[in-house]
């Protein structure tokens, strides 16, 4: 392969005539957007089989372990990391006690990702996933087409939990990935493990369309089985007169407030799943109200909750979500502090992440001088369908709430925060048309907010 030119034959090694027709349909539809990029599944026939096999295993496998125990695969995984991964090899010998192993963070991955690629990983077909995040450490992550294709196994596992089996195949559009950004990577493809059902990644920003009215028309023409996106994109979708309805919607990347989830459910008449997913580890968990939180999806991903000193916390205590394992064979994670916070609770041997929040906790102070965690704010605002918001407490304890989206009752939002902070709380509420991608949701200038580590 010439590294600087890539052909459709390389993007779609197993493409059939039916698949070609699907690509043409997606690209050349009269209401299609301006696709800015090209991409493909990249899977060879052998890899398609391999992904299918992985999917079978992932769907059947038990996910979890008992409190106080470690999963049976963990020892071997740690041994492989020490033998095969340059960064971990420098630790020296493996430790008898897993909890004594050092942790890593996003900053380590950001410094030099090559040190995390195992010696045994093939590099001729590496792909990358970039993420800017909100921590100042932009990431360029190593991955592989097989890894990218394997995401679907865990999506299917999440869907199965809610009684949904994906069934769209040849001649149908399986998924539309919906974004709403000024600049967005957009393309069309087909999914070989779903009999070449169509895939379109689109941007609802009007600048990507010949006519903004085409957005709804195109979505109706595609009549996709699944919509995936983040709450911002879904908020934009809610404004469009789309007639067709997907069978399910998957929300990722940002907090999906329950009221927003409810609006989407009512509008599209389908389940709306809130996935906890990240470039570093893929789909980690899916929210399940019946389980009380986010249930884990991957059978070879061990999740710990650690305190600031990297000590494991007992079930029920909040700390930083820390991951070991994963399915990205180009990026094995060994005690990776993900920068998200939750408590872990067990329903039998099924671990559930409770109160999952991105970013380190921030403490706010109420009018009585009491300090409380930002999760209380999330709870106070969860009944409002706000696509995205930030809350900042000034040095003088005044609050600035910035929020996107329309149609909320400002007085009700104010009252919810007054209930939490107490009467007399100064609060400025500012509406913004949109935020520029991911934001740091909670910040404070008050002293107790020194919990913020990044």
Q: Which residue(s) pair with 191 in the sheet?
A: 197
Min. distance of Cβ 198 from other proteins in angstroms? 11
CB 259 within 8 A of CB 385: yes
Q: Can you give the length of the chain in residues?
A: 454
Q: Of 33-41, 67-75, 255-263, 380-388, which part binds other proteins (CB under 8 A)?
A: 33-41
Could you list the beta-strand ranges (E) of 132-247. 139-143, 173-179, 187-191, 197-203, 226-229
For residue 193, which of 50, 2, 298, 316 has the smallest C-alpha distance?
50
CB 257 within 8 A of CB 384: yes
CB 52 within 8 A of CB 146: no
Among 9, 79, 95, 412, binds other proteins (CB under 8 A): 95
What track of x and - describes contact with other proteins for positions 301 through 330 (by CB under 8 A)?
--------xxx-------------------
Instruction: Give the footprint of other proteins on residues 56-75 (CB under 8 A).
Output: none
Min. distance of Cβ 213 from other proteins in angstroms? 25
Please identify, using beta-carbon distances, which residue of 66 and 89 lies nearer to other proteins.
89
Please identify, using beta-carbon distances, which residue of 127 and 397 lies nearer to other proteins.
127
Q: For the chain, how long is the longest CA-to-CA vector?
A: 69
Please identify, using beta-carbon distances, which residue of 283 and 360 lies nearer to other proteins.
283
Query: What element of type H or E holds 338?
Result: strand 333-347
Instruction: Give the footprint of other proteins on residues 230-269 (CB under 8 A).
Output: 250, 252-253
Among 38, 394, 452, 454, binds other proteins (CB under 8 A): 38
Q: What tokens were used for 414?
A: 């104010």
Binding of other proteins by 345 (CB under 8 A): no
Q: Cα dihedral sign for 41, 42, 45, 47?
A: negative
Sequence-ordered alpha helix ranges (H) in 91-161: 106-111, 145-161
Binding of other proteins by 134 (CB under 8 A): no
Under 8 Å CB-to-CB from 158, ≥6 apart: which residues?
250, 273, 275, 283, 286, 297
Among 203, 279, 425, 441, binds other proteins (CB under 8 A): 279
Q: CA-to-CA distance for 414 and 429, rounded, in angstroms? A: 8
Q: Of 52-60, 68-76, 84-92, 317-325, which part binds other proteins (CB under 8 A)?
A: 84-92
Query: What element of type H or E holds 336?
Result: strand 333-347
Among 67, 79, 102, 422, binds other proteins (CB under 8 A): 102
Tokens 């094995």 -> residue: 332
Among 278, 296, 352, 403, binds other proteins (CB under 8 A): 278
Min. distance of Cβ 38 from other proteins in angstroms? 6
What track of x and - describes contact with other proteins for positions 183 through 212 (by CB under 8 A)?
--x---x-x-------x-x-----------
Q: What tokens were used for 60?
A: 């059947």
Size of the site for other proteins (CB under 8 A): 75
> Mapping DSSP to helix (H, G, I), strand (E, B) and coil, where does residue 120 land?
coil
Please identify, using beta-carbon distances, which residue of 228 and 393 lies nearer to other proteins.
228
Q: CA-to-CA distance for 94 and 84, rounded, in angstroms? A: 12
Min. distance of Cβ 362 from other proteins in angstroms? 22
What track of x and - describes contact with other proteins for positions 154 through 173 (by CB under 8 A)?
-x------------------
Q: Of 92-100, 293-301, 318-326, 367-375, which part binds other proteins (CB under 8 A)?
A: 92-100
Min. distance of Cβ 196 from other proteins in angstroms? 12
Binding of other proteins by 97 (CB under 8 A): yes
Query: What element of type H or E holds 59?
Result: helix 45-60
Q: What does DSSP assign to residue 37?
A: -
What is the Cβ-side half-sphere exposure of residue 184, based on CA atoms within 13 angstroms? 25
Q: CA-to-CA distance for 297 and 153, rounded, in angstroms? A: 9
Among 152, 343, 352, 413, binds other proteins (CB under 8 A): 152
How far from each other are the two terminal CA atoms of the chain, in whole angstroms? Answer: 41
Q: What tokens were used for 212?
A: 């903004």
Among 17, 68, 76, 92, binds other proteins (CB under 8 A): 92
Among 23, 32, 78, 149, binds other proteins (CB under 8 A): 149
Binding of other proteins by 76 (CB under 8 A): no
Min. distance of Cβ 82 from other proteins in angstroms? 8
Instruction: Give the footprint of other proteins on residues 8-27 (CB under 8 A).
Output: 10-11
Min. distance of Cβ 141 from other proteins in angstroms? 9
Under 8 Å CB-to-CB from 454, ≥6 apart: which residues?
135, 136, 137, 339, 359, 360
Q: Of 137-145, 340-348, 358-366, 389-397, which part binds other proteins (CB under 8 A)?
A: 137-145
Min. distance of Cβ 191 from other proteins in angstroms? 7
């Amino acid at each position: 392969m010439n590294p600087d030119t890539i052909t459709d034959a390389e993007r779609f090694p197993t493409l059939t005539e039916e698949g070609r027709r699907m690509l043409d349909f997606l690209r050349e539809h009269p209401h299609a957007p301006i696709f800015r990029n090209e991409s493909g599944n990249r899977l060879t026939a052998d890899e398609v089989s391999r992904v299918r096999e992985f999917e079978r295993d992932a769907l059947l496998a038990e996910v979890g372990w008992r409190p106080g125990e470690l999963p049976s695969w963990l020892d071997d995984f740690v041994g492989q990391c020490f033998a095969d991964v340059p960064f971990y090899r420098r630790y020296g010998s493996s430790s008898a006690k897993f909890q004594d192993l050092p942790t890593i963070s996003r900053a380590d991955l950001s410094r030099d990702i090559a040190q995390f690629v195992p010696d045994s990983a093939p590099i001729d077909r590496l792909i990358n996933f970039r993420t800017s995040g909100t921590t100042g450490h932009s990431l360029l992550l190593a991955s592989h087409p097989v890894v990218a294709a394997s995401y679907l196994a865990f999506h299917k596992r999440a869907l199965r939990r809610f009684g949904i089996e994906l069934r769209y195949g040849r001649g149908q559009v399986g998924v539309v990935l919906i974004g709403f950004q000024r600049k967005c990577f957009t393309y069309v493809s087909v999914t070989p493990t779903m009999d070449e059902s169509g895939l379109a990644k689109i941007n609802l920003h009007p600048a990507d369309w010949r006519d903004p009215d085409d957005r709804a028309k195109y979505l109706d023409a595609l009549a996709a089985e699944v919509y995936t996106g983040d709450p911002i994109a879904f908020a934009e979708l809610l404004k469009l007169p789309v007639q067709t309805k997907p069978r399910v919607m998957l929300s990722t990347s940002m907090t999906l407030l329950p009221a927003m989830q409810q609006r989407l459910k009512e509008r599209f008449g389908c389940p709306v799943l809130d996935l906890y997913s990240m470039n570093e580890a893929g789909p980690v968990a899916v929210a399940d109200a019946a389980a009380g939180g986010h249930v884990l999806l991957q059978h070879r991903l061990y999740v710990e909750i650690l305190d600031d000193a990297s000590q494991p916390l007992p079930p029920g205590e909040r700390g930083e979500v820390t991951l070991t394992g994963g399915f990205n064979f180009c990026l094995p994670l060994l005690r990776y502090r993900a920068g998200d916070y939750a408590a872990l609770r067990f329903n039998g041997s099924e671990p559930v992440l409770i109160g999952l929040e991105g970013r380190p906790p921030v403490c706010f102070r109420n009018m009585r001088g009491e300090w409380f965690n930002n999760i209380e704010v999330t709870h106070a605002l969860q009944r409002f369908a706000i696509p995205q918001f930030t809350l900042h407490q000034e040095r003088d304890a005044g609050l600035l709430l910035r929020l996107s989206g329309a149609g909320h009752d400002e007085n009700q939002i104010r009252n919810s925060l007054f209930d939490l902070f107490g009467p007399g709380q100064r609060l400025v509420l500012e509406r913004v048309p949109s935020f520029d991608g991911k934001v740091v949701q909670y910040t404070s200038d008050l002293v107790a907010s020194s919990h913020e580590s990044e």
